[in-house]
Amino acid sequence: MAHLRTLRLTRFRSYAEASLALDGRPVVLFGPNGAGKTNLLEAVSFLSPGRGLRNAKPEEIAQRGPASDVGGGSLGAWAVSVELVRDGDIVRVGVGQDPESPSRKLVRVDGETATQADLARLVRVAWLTPAHDRLFAGPRSDRLKFYDRLVMGLRPDHGATASRYERAMRERSRLLEEGRFDPAWLDGLEAEMAERGVALAAARAALLKLLQAAIDSRPEGAFPKADLALGGENAGGLESRLGAGEAEADVEADFRALLAEARRRDAAAGGRALTGPHRSDFTASHRAKAMPAGDCSTGEQKALLVGLALAHARALAAKDGAERGGGPPLLLLDEAAAHLDADRRAGLVEELLALGAQAWLTGTDQGLFAAFAGRAQELAVREGRVQAG
């Protein structure tokens, strides 16, 4: 299990400097709105590939000032530095704005320059924020983006696979929009799309199986059980076919043929690929009520979402997840207690403790986390300062 032993921020959002000493227990951050609680979670989220929980560009983070020297080298105008305890070893990780390319995130591991893929293999980070509260009732694209980030916990290369698929898809779209139907070019691009698209779908289907198993194996408790599905009428059926056990080679060949057949149709749509895993949807239903999650009450949707996050963490902690480089993630729960009653808050605490992951939770009122009863580190956050609660 991985956890943070220290967290240091330099010119990050509201923090000119901040340093936290941690012991692996859950971390509770409480204080008034605007105090800087979510900024601390965002800093931890930058230990994963991408733009963190606010989807912020590197150049949007820093306070003004000279470059920071963290992790054995300059990390630009802002930096996040941690000591990560992983399998008993201590790894020093630094993340910050690249001083030579301000729009790029620079990563260092034990003083050496590393990649975002290295980060994904080193530590898993998952999060829920208030922006996710209406995930099931919101746009399909938001659900798919959320689900693909969950997949990265199981398959660290999932993001790179998605980038290659999208790059080939964009090039194919450009050719079709321009009316260029050169078979040599299109055959090659569609072969790339088929290969990467089936890899995307296979990873999604593998996670779905693990998530549903984690949900089904949990006793009835504070969070309702959900039935999960992947699909969509324009997704090409890739995830469902792979989930049913069809050979990847057969699904890939069929998808490639489908893309070739759809060239004229897609060209008429401005070059857009109207079928494929980029059109998939991730859905859930409240099992006890036999109701789509998007039709449930705000509180029920929040409970389903928290239950999903816990199932994801359990799936990564399970044996088959660990064999794929998993283990429980650092779990960031921003305002997790919102819309949860006292029983569900207590249930959340017990599930987090049983999981054994280092969870980070925020709330305006320390009393929201009373069920921890001394089993968490409680830190008060006020005006950019952090101190023991």
Q: What would be the CATH architecture of the domain defined by 138-283?
A: Up-down Bundle (1.20)
Across the range 292-321, mean pLDDT stands at 89
For the domain covering 2-123+329-388, report its CATH number.
Answer: 3.40.50.300
Residue 330 CA to residue 14 CA, distance in Å, equals 22
Rounded to two decimals, what is the model's pTM?
0.91
Q: What average pLDDT does the structure give for the chain?
A: 91
Residue 50 CA to residue 214 CA, distance in Å, equals 27
- Where in the chain are all domains bearing CATH 1.20.1050.90? 138-283
Q: Which residue, 100, 40, 94, is CA-closest to 70?
A: 94
Instruction: Give the burial class of 314: count Cβ atoms within 10 A of its Cβ; 0-12 exposed, 13-18 middle, 19 or more buried.
Output: buried
The sign one gets for the Cα dihedral 147, 152, 154, 158 is positive
**Do the beta carbons of residue 357 and residue 336 sit within 8 Å?**
no
Residues 159, 164, 169: CA angle, nearest 5 degrees: 125
Look at residue 66 in the predicted model and tell me its pLDDT. Answer: 52
Higher pLDDT, 67 or 373: 373
Residue 72 predicted with pLDDT over 70: no
Residue 372 CA to residue 26 CA, distance in Å, equals 9
Residue 322 CA to residue 32 CA, distance in Å, equals 38
Instruction: Give the burial class of 163: count Cβ atoms within 10 A of its Cβ; 0-12 exposed, 13-18 middle, 19 or more buried.
Output: exposed
Residue 70 predicted with pLDDT over 70: no
Residue 65 predicted with pLDDT over 80: no
- Where in the chain are all domains bearing CATH 3.40.50.300? 2-123+329-388
Q: Over the stretch 85-141, which tens digit does the pLDDT of each residue have?
A: 988 899 999 999 888 888 889 999 999 999 988 888 888 999 999 999 999 999 999
Look at residue 232 in the predicted model and tell me its pLDDT. Answer: 85
Q: Could you give the C-alpha distances from 111 to 91, 103, 132, 201, 222, in angstroms and in order? A: 10, 21, 35, 36, 44
Q: Over the stretch 246-286, which tens digit does the pLDDT of each residue have?
A: 999 999 999 999 999 999 999 999 999 999 999 999 999 99
Per-residue DSSP letters for 296-327?
S-HHHHHHHHHHHHHHHHHHHHSHHHHTTT--
Higher pLDDT, 288 or 2: 288
* CB neighbours of residue 343 within 10 Å: 11
Assign residue 91 a region (left: φ > 0; alpha: ψ between -120 and 50; beta: otherwise): beta
Q: Over the stretch 172-219, which tens digit does the pLDDT of each residue have?
A: 999 999 999 999 999 999 999 999 999 999 999 999 999 999 999 988
Across the range 305-317, mean pLDDT stands at 93
Amino acid at 232: G
DSSP 357: -
| Residues paired with 107 in a beta bridge | 95, 114
Across the range 304-311, mean pLDDT stands at 95
Look at residue 156 in the predicted model and tell me its pLDDT. Answer: 87
Identify the band that residue 324 occupies on the pLDDT scale cut at 50, 70 and 90.
very low
DSSP 278: G
Look at residue 64 in the predicted model and tell me its pLDDT. Answer: 55
